[in-house]
Amino acid sequence: MRIISSVREMQQATDNFRRAGKLIGVVPTMGYLHEGHLSLIHLARRHADVVITTIFVNPTQFAPNEDFTKYPRDIERDTALAESAGTDILFTPSTDEMYPREYRTYVVVEQITKMLEGQFRPTHFRGVTTIVTKLFNITKPHVAVFGQKDAQQVVVIKQMVKDLNFDLEIIVAPIVREQDGLALSSRNVYLSESERKQSIVLSSALRRAEEYVHRGEKTPSRIIGEMKKMITAQPSARVDYISIADPASLEDVSAIPHHGSVLISLAVRFGQTRLIDNMLVYIP
């Protein structure tokens, strides 16, 4: 595995691969890799000849009151994990390399960035779409792999790819969970022992919601009410939102449709740690 930290060197490497007719896959990450990230790298391997994993904790997607400085980092461990999962090139730029002093340009996707996460993190997606655009221009991939765990991020990035005519395909990998149901996230390390136990409620509440939908419940507020009851029974849990939305528009549905799918998503804080999770529920 080759490690590159300069933009210019990365662009030269990817140009050479393209000239040699290789299919390039990129897996953008913020590091502190876990099984969820490794599943993205494995998926990229199946779709590409050359897999580039990027590690960059992107300051522009964190608000000043968020966890940018304390976001977990372990580049040595990440390097070993990325290599063992099948990465060919690990791209690890510095902040100065990505955002030099005279940096001025941001990419904004309208509307779908304002709901759900956007209500609580109004500048978050502007940072995500900006860095992902930069990473696409630097790694020039044919395919890019993202995790369904960040469901809204996937919708936003797909919209950006379509609107800005990026010539690449977005591939989405399913959520990877711990045995007890907690969705893997680099932020799980922040949880105290007690918060970690309580956090199991998120996947249980999503499964309960799915049962309601499959049993024919059509009123979203009844399902959300039941989920809220389950979650707030945990002493540390504070709900930011629970939503049952159309998976494409992310607009809350007024009724569960008779056919199709809904995206049930939530954000809940346990102490200082904010967790998100979701489930795409199909109605046959």
Residue 15: how many CB atoms within 10 A of its CB? 11
Reading across the β-sheet that carries 260-270, which strands appear in turn? 237-245, 260-270, 273-283
Q: Nearest approach, Cβ of 174 to ligand PAF (angstroms)?
A: 15
Residue 132 as a binder of ligand PAF (CB under 6 A): the answer is: yes
Within 8 A by CB and 6+ apart from 156, the residues are 109, 112, 113, 125, 128, 129
Q: Does 159 bind ligand PAF (CB under 6 A)?
A: no
Task: Write out the binding residues for ligand PAF, residues 30-89 only, by CB under 6 A.
Answer: 30, 58, 61
Q: Please report whether residue 185 would count as binding ligand PAF according to CB under 6 A.
A: no
Report long-range pairs for 250-253 (Cβ below 8 Å, ≥24 apart): 250/112, 250/115, 250/116, 250/152, 250/155, 251/115, 252/220, 253/220
The Cα–Cα gap between 51 and 42 comes to 9
Nearest approach, Cβ of residue 135 and ligand PAF (Å): 7
37 is catalytic: yes
Q: In angstroms, give the least distance from the CB of 61 to ligand PAF.
A: 6
Nearer to ligand PAF, 30 or 82 (CB): 30
DSSP 154-188: HHHHHHHHHHTT-SSEEEEEPPPB-TTSPBP-GGG
d(CA 37, CA 27): 8
The residue within the footprint of ligand PAF, chosen from 78, 88, 150, 277 (CB under 6 A), is 150
The single residue among 24, 131, 144, 202 that binds ligand PAF, judged by CB under 6 A, is 131
**Piece in contact with ligand PAF (CB under 6 A), picked from 8-16, 125-133, 211-219, 242-250:** 125-133
- Min dist CB 83 to ligand PAF, Å, is 19
Instruction: Determine if 276 is a binding residue for ligand PAF (CB under 6 A).
Output: no
Binding residue for ligand PAF, selected from 29, 92, 159, 199, defined by CB under 6 A? 29
Burial of 162 (0-12, 13-18, 19+ CB in 10 A): exposed
State the minimum distance, in angstroms, from the CB of residue 79 to ligand PAF. 17
| Residues paired with residue 53 on neighbouring β-strands, in sequence order | 27, 90
- Which residue in 34, 37, 42, 214 is the catalytic one? 37
Q: Tokens 């960040």 — which residue?
A: 150
Q: Does 93 bind ligand PAF (CB under 6 A)?
A: no
Q: Which residue in 35, 24, 79 sits closest to 175, CA to CA?
A: 35
Give yes or no for a contact between 5 and 91, defined as CB atoms under 8 angstroms apart. yes
d(CA 43, CA 173): 7
130 binds ligand PAF (CB under 6 A): no
Interface stretch with ligand PAF, choices 28-36, 88-96, 169-177, 258-266 (CB under 6 A): 28-36
The span from the CA of 131 to the CA of 98, in Å, is 8
* Interface residue with ligand PAF, options 10, 13, 26, 28 (CB under 6 A): 28
From 128, 151, 171, 184, residue interacting with ligand PAF (rule: CB under 6 A): 128
Give the binding-site size for ligand PAF (rule: CB under 6 A). 10
Interface positions with ligand PAF (CB under 6 A): 28-30, 58, 61, 128, 131-132, 150, 153
Catalytic residues: 37
